[in-house]
Amino acid sequence: MNGKRKLLLAATLAAALLAAVATAAPAADPVRPVLSLSVEVRKEAIVKDAGGKETTEWREASDVRPGDVLRYTIAYRNGGRTEARAARIVDPVPKETAYIPGSAEGKDAAIAFSLDGKSFLEPAQLRQKVRRADGTEEERQAPPETYTHVQWTLLKAVPPGGGGTVSFKVRVR
């Protein structure tokens, strides 16, 4: 693997691991909920069986190239003594990748997106200014490749010791 691809993979993994955030009570109080997170990145591989039938497998993302599809899976677990209510998980769409529309998943979670990492909305509500050929600007719905962050708000409380996963896919540019 060349240096550029290694750097891209390392940066992609680091962004996901460092920026995944869950909101719950502070960890200093053991009676409160403590949501811990872990991130796994897998690369899509299309394989053919002996009969020529194609299936999709998710493999270790050790060699990443433009056009590859990566799936980010964030596992969360409540290590506290009380349930975590309205927990929020936020993860960036790594630079040099583009979010794949409709790929964000999370059981019992409201999913929203951001163009700046600060405000989160449903896709139909995300707007951006676009400059026309005549120099004027108009506001349009933001395309999925401009999303910078994905947010999951868990709609059900996470009991002590409970957890789950959320995920999304990107295509490497």
Residue 62 has pLDDT above 90, yes or no: no
Where do the DSSP E strands lie in 23-82?
35-48, 54-60, 69-78
Segment 81-96 shows an average pLDDT of: 94
Domain layout of the chain by residue ranges? 3-172
Q: What is the mean pLDDT of the chain?
A: 87
Confidence class for position 22, pLDDT limits 50, 70, 90: very low
- Which helix (H) or strand (E) segment is 97 a member of? strand 97-99
As a whole number of angstroms, the distance between CA 34 and CA 162 comes to 11
Structure tokens at 117: 């990492």
State pLDDT tens for residues 100-130: 999 999 999 999 999 999 999 999 999 999 9
Cβ neighbours of residue 113 under 8 Å, at least 6 residues apart? 99, 104, 120, 121, 122, 123, 126, 144, 147, 149, 150, 151
CA atoms within 13 A on the CB side of 156: 9
Q: What is the pLDDT of residue 170?
A: 98
Instruction: Give the alpha-carbon dihedral of 84, 86, 70, 12, to 10 degrees.
Output: -80
Other CB atoms within a 10 A radius of the CB of residue 155 amount to 13
* Residue 89 pLDDT: 95
In order of 41, 42, 124, 147, the CA distances from 71 in angstroms are: 6, 5, 23, 16
Task: Give the per-residue pLDDT at 32.
Answer: 81
**Residue 24, pLDDT score:** 46
pLDDT band of 33, cuts 50, 70, 90: confident
CA distance 103 to 83: 28
Mean pLDDT in residue range 46-64: 93
pLDDT reading at 150 higher than 70: yes
Q: State the CATH architecture for 3-172.
A: Sandwich (2.60)
pTM of the shown model: 0.83
Amino acid in position 20: A
